[in-house]
Amino acid sequence: VGAGERRRQGLSKGFILSRVDGMPVATVEDVRRAVSRASAAGESGVRLEGIYPNGQRGFAGVSVPKALLQSRK
């Protein structure tokens, strides 16, 4: 997620991503798999869950990149 999208979703710098659509993620590949799964299921977005260094939890919904959605048609 780029800085612009992160700001639009209310996520601040330092957000540590821990789950995508409820599935634990630890690597970039885990995130790619989760987004690809959502795209294959026809979903237009995913839910991000994580935590900030101060312990505050954060959540956001982000769109699946259009290129992924188009490649599944």
Query: pLDDT (tens digit, 9 = 90+) per residue, 40-67?
Result: 888 888 999 999 999 999 998 888 766 5
The more confident residue out of 24 and 11 is 24
The more confident residue out of 72 and 29 is 29
The answer on pLDDT for 1 being more than 60 is no
Residue 12 pLDDT level (bands cut at 50, 70, 90): confident
| Distance of alpha carbon 27 from alpha carbon 24, whole angstroms | 10
| Distance of alpha carbon 2 from alpha carbon 69, whole angstroms | 19
Pairing state between β 45-51 and 57-63: antiparallel
Instruction: Calculate mean pLDDT across residues 64-71.
Output: 58
Angle at 23 between CA 17 and CA 25, to 5 degrees: 40
SS3 content of the chain, % helix, strand, coil (to 5): 35, 30, 35
Q: What is the predicted pLDDT for the residue at 11?
A: 78
